[in-house]
């Protein structure tokens, strides 16, 4: 099996779980923050929705210059869900053509011209496109809990949902 196929299979499976969380966003709380230093619910959700496609676009390059553009505050849950759906399609479109040689080729990230990361492309995709998004998805589940929104099952039962019962 090509490397990219295993990445895309995982991405597809995890995207279903991510969508369950995004579908529960309370629209009247998108500007809510659990702490002054935290991102708002809306910004965190939009980051989760758009990061995969942005990361896939970066992975398609041999060198990517980080610029640190801020994530916009969405106005509605549907705006987040639409961005997520578009992002899923973009990830598949961008990564699917990559053969094993391309996935194993070195990839570099720079900031202000200085190298900050140099790894095989697959390591960047695994670490940032997949694991980074899972990290933020975990944050989102805590935000939902703090807002008393039922948290869906992620890898097993939550206090609100048991897919095995």
Each residue of 16-55: pLDDT tens digit?
A: 999 999 999 999 999 999 999 999 999 999 999 999 999 9
Q: Residue 66 — very low, low, confident or very high, per pLDDT cuts 50/70/90?
A: confident
Each residue of 145-160: pLDDT tens digit?
A: 999 999 999 999 999 9
> Which tokens sit at 51?
């990061």
Give the pLDDT score at 23. Answer: 98
**pTM value?**
0.95
Domains of the chain: 3-146 (1.20.120.450)
Cα→Cα distances 29→70, 75, 140, Å? 20, 10, 13
């Amino acid at each position: 099996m090509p490397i990219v196929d295993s990445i895309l299979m995982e991405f597809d499976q995890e995207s279903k779980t991510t969508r369950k969380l995004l579908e529960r966003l309370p629209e009247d709380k998108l500007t809510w923050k659990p702490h002054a230093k935290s991102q708002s619910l809306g910004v965190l959700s939009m980051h989760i929705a758009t990061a995969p496609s942005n990361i896939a676009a970066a992975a398609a390059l041999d060198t990517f210059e980080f610029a640190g553009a801020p994530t916009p505050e969405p106005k509605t849950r549907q705006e987040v869900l639409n961005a997520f759906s578009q992002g899923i399609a973009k990830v598949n479109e961008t990564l699917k053509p990559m053969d094993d040689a391309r996935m194993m080729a070195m990839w570099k990230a720079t900031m202000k011209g200085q190298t900050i990361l140099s790894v095989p492309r697959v390591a960047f995709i695994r670490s940032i496109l997949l694991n980074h998004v899972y990290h933020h998805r975990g944050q989102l589940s805590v935000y939902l809990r703090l807002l008393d929104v039922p948290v869906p099952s992620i890898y097993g039962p939550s206090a609100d949902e048991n897919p095995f019962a």
